[in-house]
Amino acid sequence: MSRSRAWLPGPAGVVILAGVAAALHVAKLAPALPTLRESMGLSLAQAGWLLSTVQGAGMLLGAVMGVLADGWGLRRCMLTGLGILTLASALGPLGSGFEVLLGLRALEGLGFLMATMPAAALVRRLVVPARMPLMLGVWGTYMPWATSLALFLGPALIPGLGWAGWWWLAAACTGGMAGWVAAVVPPDPPSGGRWQASTLVARLHRTWTGVGPWLVAGAFAVYSGQWLAVIGFLPSIVQQAGWSPAAIAWVTACLAAVNMLGNLASGPLQARGVAPSRLLGCGYAVMALAAWLAFQDAWPLGLPARMGAVLLFSMVGGIIPGTLFAQAVRHAPDEDTISTTVGWMQQCSSLGQFLSPPLVGLLAARVGGWQWTWLITGLCSAAGMALAHGLSRLPPRR
């Protein structure tokens, strides 16, 4: 490699950056909502639909898209997803109302799923086995990385660009990454009949009848559900304390950013021989304790101490997704079902993110405050520890 190109990431790094660019389309809405509501006259209910619709494809089609990617080709699936995201985001500002934008957000959800779901298997294909835990830990940062970028850059750029320019900037990111992936990631091997319907159904059957995919998917669901519930309601909590919107945006962005530290730590820790069950158990236990410190009122803490507990909740909890991506690769029934297993994990994750925030909000409304939020997060963590223990008893796939 020439000295001028030594700084460029390898193919696996490009795949990870493409995942970050894809996730930016999920995260781009939050900082744009005030401008979007003002320019289009959206109600809070309509804004909520725009936020949740992007998760619809993952919640309904994760495993199916995984099995299609395994048969169709991982690189081809990622490129198609990046193309869909680019097109849908570019068309968004050209639409004529809420219904069109909502439909394009659903299309972005499909593109996001197609772009990110094959990534773990692609990274597995592109790196030597010794580097796989590290690189899958890095891959686990794609969502918090994109969320942090959106929350940091959005408030600075949207006043000048408007929400339309912000949408087009996101389209340019995925369009550029599609070209980069096409240039440096090797083509998919020949399908060899893997695209036949009977083969795809058999692959889906092997995934759903395997114990490992269910344990990994369940563990990811109880992690992502409680993380989104806490981080999602945090702006409302600190707003009640009188914080400015700018301060709220920066705090939320920082809490999303520190989640990457746990993700990045999971790979080296696994490479050093720390058992995945210990990493998962530690992550869930700290999340349960930190949520209790942040929300309980039996031993009241000041707001800075509570924010410190949420910081710990997000940072140490970040160990979990990086570890689970590696476990999904190891406990997929076979090489041909890695993307299917990751797709099933993504599907259950979307389901957890769909269910947990309403449960937390309903509980807060019933008891008149957030002081019992730790009960739901604690139950999620207890379930995660049980699933991690079950996963540790399974022999990894050769």
Rounded average pLDDT over 224-228: 86
Predicted pLDDT at 1: 43
Q: In degrees, to the nearest 5, what angle opens at C-alpha 279 toward C-alphas 276 and 281?
A: 105
Domains of the chain: 8-392 (1.20.1250.20)
* The pLDDT of residue 192 is above 50: no
Tell me how far apart the alpha carbons of residues 292 and 284 are, in angstroms, rounded to a whole number.
12
Rounded average pLDDT over 64-87: 88
Q: Which of 184-193, 197-206, 232-241 has the weakest average pLDDT?
A: 232-241
Decide which of 282 and 132 is more confident.
Answer: 282
Residue with tokens 């294909």, as numbered in its chain: 125
CB 342 within 8 A of CB 117: yes
Rounded average pLDDT over 124-138: 84
Burial class of 326 by CB neighbour count within 10 A (0 to 12, 13 to 18, 19+): buried
Predicted pLDDT at 3: 45
Rounded average pLDDT over 201-209: 87
Tell me how far apart the alpha carbons of residues 318 and 366 are, in angstroms, rounded to a whole number.
30
CB atoms within 10 A of CB 277: 17
Predicted pLDDT at 260: 86
Tens of pLDDT, residues 319-365 = 999 899 889 888 888 877 887 888 898 889 888 887 887 788 788 87
* The pLDDT of residue 5 is above 70: no
Q: Which residues, including other chains, have CB under 8 Å from residue 286's CB and lie 6 or more apart? A: 312, 313, 316, 317
Predicted pLDDT at 175: 97
Q: Which residues, including other chains, have CB under 8 Å from residue 35's CB and lie 6 or more apart? A: 158, 159, 162, 163
Q: How confident is the model at residue 164 (pLDDT cuts 50, 70, 90)?
A: very high
Arithmetic mean of pLDDT over the chain: 85
Predicted pLDDT at 8: 59
Of the segments 29-43, 246-260, 309-323, which one has the largest average pLDDT value?
309-323
Q: In degrees, to the nearest 5, what angle opens at C-alpha 348 toward C-alphas 342 and 353?
A: 125
CB 51 within 8 A of CB 354: no
Predicted pLDDT at 4: 43
Rounded average pLDDT over 159-172: 93
* The pLDDT of residue 185 is above 60: yes
Rounded average pLDDT over 138-143: 85
- How far CA 292 is from CA of 256, 306, 319, 373, in Å, comes to 19, 10, 19, 8
- How far CA 331 is from CA of 206, 317, 360, in Å, comes to 12, 21, 32
Tell me how far apart the alpha carbons of residues 239 and 262 are, in angstroms, rounded to a whole number.
27
CB atoms within 10 A of CB 372: 16
CB 368 within 8 A of CB 207: no
* The pLDDT of residue 262 is above 80: yes
Tell me how far apart the alpha carbons of residues 266 and 137 are, in angstroms, rounded to a whole number.
6
Tens of pLDDT, residues 56-66 = 777 787 888 87
Tell me how far apart the alpha carbons of residues 84 and 256 are, in angstroms, rounded to a whole number.
26
Coil, helix or strand for 195?
A: coil
CB 384 within 8 A of CB 222: yes
Q: Which residues, including other chains, have CB under 8 Å from residue 374's CB and lie 6 or more apart? A: 288, 291, 292, 294, 295, 296
Rounded average pLDDT over 226-240: 74
Burial class of 365 by CB neighbour count within 10 A (0 to 12, 13 to 18, 19+): exposed
Single-letter code of the amino acid located at 58? G
- Written as one string, the DSSP assignment of 159-186 is HHHHHHHHHHHHHHHHHHHHHHHHHHSP
Predicted pLDDT at 169: 96
Tell me how far apart the alpha carbons of residues 352 and 222 are, in angstroms, rounded to a whole number.
6
Q: How confident is the model at residue 2 (pLDDT cuts 50, 70, 90)?
A: very low
Secondary element (H or E) of residue 285 = helix 276-295
Predicted pLDDT at 89: 95
